[in-house]
Amino acid sequence: MGTIDLKAYLAKLKKNWLIIALCCVIGLSAAYIYSSSFVEPMYSSSVKMSVKETDWSDGGVSVTGIQVSSQMIDNCFVVLEDKVTFEKVATVVNEELGTKYSPGQIRGWVSYSRVGETIYFRVTATTPDAELSAVVCNAVIAVAPELIVKYVANIPVVPLDDATPNYAPVSPNTRRNMILGFMLALVACCGVLFLDVYFDNTVNDEEKLKERFDLSVIGVVPHYEPHGQHFGYVK
pLDDT digits 0-9 by tens, 67-95: 556 678 888 899 999 999 999 999 999 99
**Closest CA relative to residue 51, chosen from 162, 144, 164, 151:** 144
**Closest CA relative to residue 50, chosen from 138, 157, 145:** 157
In the chain, which segments carry CATH 3.30.70.1130?
43-159
Instruction: Kindly tell me the burial class for residue 73, based on how many C-beta atoms sit within 10 Å of its own C-beta (0-12, 13-18, 19 or more).
Output: buried
pLDDT of 117 reads 79
Residue 204: band (very low, low, confident or very high) from pLDDT cuts 50, 70, 90 = low
Q: Which residues of 20-36 are buried (b: 16+ CB within 10 A; e: fewer)?
A: beebbeebbebbeeebe
Q: Which amino acid is at 9?
A: Y
CA separation, residue 39 to residues 69, 174, 177 (Å): 40, 10, 11
Q: What is the mean pLDDT of the chain?
A: 84
CA separation, residue 198 to residues 9, 21, 202 (Å): 8, 22, 11
* Local structure of 115: helix, strand or coil: coil
In terms of average pLDDT, the best of 51-55, 148-152, 172-176 is 172-176
Q: Which amino acid is at 132?
A: L
Which CATH number is associated with domain 43-159? Answer: 3.30.70.1130
Whether the per-residue pLDDT at 3 is higher than 60: the answer is: yes
pLDDT of 233 reads 46
Share above pLDDT 70 across residues of the chain, in percent, rounded to a whole number: 77
**Closest CA relative to residue 145, chosen from 233, 15, 52, 14:** 52
Mean pLDDT of the 135-164 span = 90
